[in-house]
Amino acid sequence: MPQENSGDCNNTITTDAEVPTKTTSDGISIEELIKDPKLINKRVWQLAWPAMVELLLSTLFSMVDMIMVGRISYQALTAVGLTNHPTMLALAVFQALNVGSTALVARFIGSGDIKNAKATVRQSMVLVTILGIVVSIAGYLLSPAIITFMRAEPDVYPMSVTYLQIVSLGWLFTTISLNVGAILRGSGDTMTPMRYNLLSNLLNVVGNYVLIFGKFGFPAMGVAGAALSTTLCRGVAAFLALRAIFNKNRNIGVSLKDDYRIDKNLLERLISIGLPSAMEQFLLRLGQVFFSRAVAGLGTAVYAAHQTAINISSLTFTPGQAFGMAATTMVGQSLGAKHPDVAEKAGLVARRMGLIIALAIAIVLFFFGYDVALLYVDDPEVARAAANALKILAIMQPMQSTQFILAGALRGAGDTRWPLYSTAIGIWGIRVVLVHVFIAMGMGLMGAWVAQLCDQAFRAVFIYTRYKSGAWKHSKV
């Protein structure tokens, strides 16, 4: 990985003085964006592409990891897959601080208030570290109970428990790197998180190869080796993230000598913005746990096909997530500079760009899903079942992209309640209900994925309607 720059990806605000017209990190002012709307396209792309490269390559590295695990056996693939949703559920609590940090830092940068931007960084990092330690310990101790709840069959239970116990020890590292990434993106720097996450994921692929299969003199550890490699490389990402945020030359860089005492007012602002997002993520991840639990009841082979499709689907999230991050930053900074018209335009531009990429992905999934699935499993029946699920995933791409990106724009405005409502209704009122109905009707794995399609369709319409209302422009942070 390249060494950290002494600068800040060309950030223009380097002092505590107010610079209200400089609201983006590449020197493009809001006034320039108003005069030339094409600059909005440029700025959205500049923010989105590093995030998209980061997410895309991270997902591809993760897919390679799962392919390696799948080469052990499809039972191993299922064992690792059963731990994914409990892991995301455990980390959901940190969404409150991450979303709050991004929104507040973006607003403060937009208004030129660097002092409060740095104070936000300190408050967020202290709380994330404390909570990360607690969650890591809890995850290790509760691993057997969690895997039992996930209805793991006897042939995968021991592997699942071992994997979850090892990776839970690295949850602290994950929370730190995610939090710093959210802070940096709020400031307009999407390059630094890309760099340290790519290095971490690249090292993880190498580590998995060495520890899973026992190369270069190391013992073949199988699933445990995959978990150990993941945990160690997450530690690398956390170290590099801290190195970046403690860079004194960065406009929002902090120092160990700074004041880290709790600021009640700032903490309340962080939580008021982020709590709905934390609740949203909690409901989403918990719903996914129950959803996956229902699919697991169909048997190990069916769940292996489901997990294969789920891992491939994570690749399709990247355009929506990347342009959603760009929308979050642009909307937050534009509202901080008192230009809601630019904020609205930026959200729509981000949605259009993301949608184009999503449609291209949909074509590949629909026509070549079987070939992609064969990369994960050798069993033709499992690959065929996964390919059918991928056809449904292809159909849902425009909906998924729309709700990801515009929800990101709403979060940048601090309007985090509506994404919460959308997720609560979509996951629990539609997906979790329909998966049980469709499976009871004998639709099997296809029924589960049709339930997801219905959920995504609802959330896309719900979020788009809220965004077009414009009410989010008046949100207080």
End-to-end CA distance of the chain: 36
Tokens of 43: 């700025």
Within-domain flag for 304: yes
Q: Which amino acid is at 396?
A: M
Residue with tokens 């995610």: 178
184 pLDDT exceeds 60? Answer: yes
Instruction: Print the domain residue range for 264.
Output: 30-469
Give whole-number Cα distances, 296 to 120, 237, 243, 245, 300, in Å: 42, 32, 41, 41, 7
The pLDDT, as a whole number, for residue 29 is: 60
Tokens of 83: 């731990």
The Cα–Cα gap between 461 and 427 comes to 14
Tokens of 12: 């223009």
The pLDDT, as a whole number, for residue 10 is: 32
Half-sphere exposure at residue 145, Cβ-oriented, CA atoms within 13 angstroms? 5
| pLDDT tier, 37 (very low <50, low <70, confident <90, very high otherwise) | low
Q: Is 408 exposed, middle or buried (0-12, 13-18, 19+ CB in 10 A)?
A: buried
The pLDDT, as a whole number, for residue 421 is: 95
The Cα–Cα gap between 384 and 15 comes to 58
Percent of the chain whose pLDDT exceeds 70:
92
448, 438 in Cβ contact below 8 A? Answer: yes
> pLDDT for 425-467, tens place per residue?
999 999 999 999 999 999 989 999 999 999 999 999 999 999 9
The pLDDT, as a whole number, for residue 2 is: 33
Contacts of 158 (CB under 8 A, 6+ apart): none
Residue with tokens 């964006």: 33
Within-domain flag for 257: yes
Residue with tokens 């082979």: 301
The Cα–Cα gap between 75 and 157 comes to 10
| pLDDT tier, 34 (very low <50, low <70, confident <90, very high otherwise) | low
Within-domain flag for 24: no
> pLDDT for 271-327, tens place per residue?
888 888 888 888 888 888 888 888 888 887 888 888 888 878 888 888 999 999 899
Query: How many folded domains does the chain comprise?
Result: 1
Question: 45-49, 81-85, 213-217: lowest mean pLDDT where?
Answer: 81-85
For 306, the 3-state DSSP assignment is: helix
45 pLDDT exceeds 70? Answer: yes
> pLDDT for 389-421, tens place per residue?
999 999 999 999 999 999 999 998 989 899 999
Contacts of 316 (CB under 8 A, 6+ apart): 358, 361, 365, 393, 397, 400
18 pLDDT exceeds 70? Answer: no
Within-domain flag for 301: yes
The Cα–Cα gap between 225 and 471 comes to 50
The Cα–Cα gap between 78 and 152 comes to 9
The pLDDT, as a whole number, for residue 46 is: 86
Within-domain flag for 15: no
7 pLDDT exceeds 60? Answer: no
- The larger pLDDT score, comparing residue 132 to residue 110, is at 132
Mean pLDDT for all residues in the chain: 85
Of 147-151, 200-204, 274-278, the range with the highest mean pLDDT is 200-204
| pLDDT tier, 38 (very low <50, low <70, confident <90, very high otherwise) | confident
Within-domain flag for 340: yes
Tokens of 274: 């982020």
Within-domain flag for 117: yes
- The average pLDDT across 87-97 equals 72
The pLDDT, as a whole number, for residue 30 is: 61
Within-domain flag for 122: yes
The Cα–Cα gap between 99 and 325 comes to 10
Summarize the chain as % helix, strand, coil (round to 5).
Answer: 80, 0, 20
The pLDDT, as a whole number, for residue 28 is: 62
